[in-house]
Structure 1
Amino acid sequence: MAAGFLLCVAWYFTILAGFYILYCPVIYLMFLNYKLYRTIVDSLFALWELYPVALFQCCFNTHLHHSGDYVDPDESTIIIINHRTRVDWNYVWMALYHATQQPEKCICKEKVNGKQHRTERGLLDVGGKSKTKFVLKEEIKNIPGMGWIMQLNYCLYVKRAWQEDQLGLFQFVDYYSRMRYPCRIVLFPEGTDLSEDNRRKSHKFAAVNNLPKYEFVLHPRTKGWAALCSSLRSNLTSIYDVTVAYDTPAQTEADLLRNKIPKHVYFHFKRYSIDNLPLEEEHLKTWLNERWSEKEVNLKKFHTDGNFTDLSSNKSCADREPRALHAAKLAFIFWTLVDILFMYLLIYSAVFQFWVIYNCLLFVSVTWYLGGFHNIQYKLLQKNKTKH
């Protein structure tokens, strides 16, 4: 129990420390130079993504097993993943860290629309030019620290009601398209985790719609996926179909608190060139359903044989060599120093205490009255583009 509690405290405390010390001072840059603001905020987040890698692997002895394709850290892509547990996204950072260990081996260096997608990296291109963005439930933006950082990172929030989500999707796509900003968009098409209750709901949905019953995945929600892929298609290089499995999954955050921490986490990556995906949205929906049918088969084999299978050749997939943890360890030291500074200032500085209270009130107000800082960023970009 103590170990799980310490893991959750360290994870969340570092988010709060980084938010108040590093993110909050940068907020005002969005009104002066939105491109520089976008670069700095996303670089900070990319630097933080290294922290849970070291936290889970070095401090709690979690072993990440990666098989399949490597991931190019510079390409614009959508990463679709089965949602095994509520805490999957903690392990996505670990998976991407190891999957991008040898970008020179990627199979993804082809030209897109006649242009080479690779560009020279700058000093702030931490982890690659393409920054990670999540498709998140609307409620997450209200969580102090974590949700507020996701607002500044301009992730895509959904209410799972298409009439309301269309506008948010349009603004998200328009924002990054106008900026010509490469992103790796992480999407869990199932919309929720594979709990027993959600599995029963999926079975009912399958029975009503004459679909097969799945035991290892849920039937994906295809409408949002098809709209997102179609809207971003001209800027995308690829789609990564990722399958995740655990030895002993922590279904919820409470499981982590109770020290039910997986020791072995398995990710299988399969890359598809965007040129090989269908154009019509209805066909994109079919394509996604086919991938999920394959996941069900692959996960069934995994839980029998202990490893993933290349379904095209029916051969077992060997694990890739894990990436060295040097970068993650350095990031862990950096964020630990930020934690110490945050604690010191919180205890001994009245000015910093006021800073914390001020920013709490600021984010609560902006979230309540304006929907979040991501909406402000979009309006600022519109205003600047209109002027030019």
Structure 2
Amino acid sequence: MDVKQQQQQQQQQKPRPIYKNAFVTIALFVMSIATILMIMLPIEILQIFNPSLAFTLNTIIASQWYRFMLFIFQVVNQINVNITGEKELPQGECALIMVNHPSEVDWLFLWFLAIKQKALSKIKFILKNEIRFVPLVGWGCDNIEYIYLTRDWEYDEAHLRYKLTKMRDVYQTKPWVTIFPEGTDIDKTKLEKSWAYAEKNGFPKFNNVLLPRTKGVQACLDVYRDTFDAVYDVTMSYDCGKPTIPSLLLSKNPNIVNINVGRIPISQVPKTEDKLQPWLFKIYQEKDKLLQYQKDNGKYPFNSIANQEDHSIYLAGLVWSIGILFTIYNLFTSSTLRWYALVSMIFYAVSASSNKLREMRGLNRPGAVYSTSSKKQQ
């Protein structure tokens, strides 16, 4: 049997029992209510008076929430994540994580890499602005200081620098700043547009990734270069198509997630944008070749690294499961808790759209307003 036949066989997955689908959906929904609406809301009030303490508390809570998500992926959904690379990664580093974008859920599986490297509480994602309006998901991402970009670079550059500078100077944290330089997840239509743009501008064309954008990477490096130890070049792929949020909830999971990591010392990363662009194109050229190799051979040409199991996800699974049952019981029996949850929902819903409230929470620069009519970045 050749590799393509093996891959086709892998794609024919056994349907997950309905009770597991129900458990995953209800557990994640109730857990999000408990975490975001009930636990984190008082911390958001604390944010006004002591931003650093509020950030620390939210980060601790979020890291335990991530562990439960990993329990769902690994134990309940039985997704196998293979992490490979040329050599083991040092632990405790501050790094810029550059990732290709094969699906809308790539950022969720990067938690596996983060927990292996003892960096689960440090990972911060740069995501598209639309996510901030998604109930619960967007509200939670706001609480833990994920960064939203609108594709209006005049706005985005100042916003990105503001958020990163705040992390560096106010919170004094050494994060994993995680960016998807392609700007969007790949599909056939986007790939054809990427080819047209590359051909028009004399840039290289790729078959398995989109042409990366340089400006966001440059802004991250400008703010954090003196703190970053390295850039992690991360390449992701799945064994069965393109997973989505619904597919993760309704059993059509990838069987295997492949993550390859290369480490580039920060001293080897160009400092100016004119030199950074060809450097980034070269990295993506290698990503393109690596992904093609994986398609042809069913694996990356490197050894497994960082694959020791972290047993803390089992404890998180137990504790959060008890918390979920406690939350369900109290939502049914306590009108006070239901009113509290409703007020919390209203607060977050208004906060998603109100520039003034976002400024008060430190989510937006003072006076910064995004105009939907602004010219969008190519």
TM-score (norm 2): 0.85
Structure 2 residue 44 is matched with structure 1 residue 27: yes
Structure 2 residue 318 is matched with structure 1 residue 333: yes
1:24-53 CA-partner distances (Å, limit 9, x unpaired): 232222233222111111111111111121
Structure 2 residue 350 is matched with structure 1 residue 365: yes
Structure 2 residue 160 is matched with structure 1 residue 172: no
CA–CA distance in structure 1, aligned partners of residues 329 and 143 of structure 2: 25
Structure 2 residue 74 is matched with structure 1 residue 83: no
Structure 2 residue 211 is matched with structure 1 residue 193: no
Structure 2 residue 136 is matched with structure 1 residue 96: no
1:333-353 CA-partner distances (Å, limit 9, x unpaired): 122122112211211111111
The offset of 1:93, in angstroms, is 0.9
Structure 2 residue 174 is matched with structure 1 residue 182: yes
1:81–1:371: structure 2 CA closer, same or farther, 3 Å change rule?
A: farther
Alignment partner for residue 345 of structure 1, among 312, 323, 330? Answer: 330
1:254–1:267: structure 2 CA closer, same or farther, 3 Å change rule?
A: same
SS of 1:235's equivalent?
coil
1:259–1:378: structure 2 CA closer, same or farther, 3 Å change rule?
A: closer
The 5 Å alignment of 1:1-388 reads 2=18, 3=20, 6-68=23-85, 69-98=87-116, 100=117, 127-128=118-119, 131-179=122-170, 180-308=172-300, 316-320=301-305, 322-370=307-355, 373=358, 376-377=361-362
1:244–1:378: structure 2 CA closer, same or farther, 3 Å change rule?
A: closer
Gaps of 5+ in 2: 1-14, 367-378
The offset of 1:285, in angstroms, is 2.0
* Mapped contact 1:142–1:367 kept (Cα < 8 A): yes
CA–CA distance in structure 2, aligned partners of residues 34 and 231 of structure 1: 20
Counterpart residue type for residue 176 of structure 1: M
What residue number does 2:3 align with?
none
1:6–1:286: structure 2 CA closer, same or farther, 3 Å change rule?
A: farther
Counterpart residue type for residue 218 of structure 1: L
SS of 1:234's equivalent?
coil
CA–CA distance in structure 2, aligned partners of residues 305 and 324 of structure 1: 26
* Mapped contact 1:16–1:146 kept (Cα < 8 A): no
CA–CA distance in structure 2, aligned partners of residues 343 and 197 of structure 1: 43
CA–CA distance in structure 2, aligned partners of residues 324 and 228 of structure 1: 31
CA–CA distance in structure 2, aligned partners of residues 220 and 371 of structure 1: 33
Counterpart residue type for residue 317 of structure 2: F
1:16–1:374: structure 2 CA closer, same or farther, 3 Å change rule?
A: farther
CA–CA distance in structure 1, aligned partners of residues 114 and 184 of structure 2: 21
Counterpart residue type for residue 157 of structure 1: Y
* Mapped contact 1:195–1:251 kept (Cα < 8 A): no
Counterpart residue type for residue 174 of structure 1: T
* Mapped contact 1:76–1:182 kept (Cα < 8 A): yes
CA–CA distance in structure 1, aligned partners of residues 106 and 90 of structure 2: 21
Which shows bigger deviation, 65-74 or 227-236?
Answer: 65-74
Measured on the aligned residues, the alpha-carbon RMSD in Å equals: 2.3
SS of 1:269's equivalent?
strand
* Mapped contact 1:76–1:184 kept (Cα < 8 A): yes
1:59-78 CA-partner distances (Å, limit 9, x unpaired): 11111101114444532211
* Mapped contact 2:31–2:320 kept (Cα < 8 A): yes
The offset of 1:192, in angstroms, is 0.8
1:336–1:265: structure 2 CA closer, same or farther, 3 Å change rule?
A: same
CA–CA distance in structure 2, aligned partners of residues 72 and 130 of structure 1: 16
* Mapped contact 1:226–1:284 kept (Cα < 8 A): yes
Identity of aligned residues (%): 25
1:118-144 CA-partner distances (Å, limit 9, x unpaired): xxxxxxxxx459611110111111222
TM-score (norm 1): 0.83
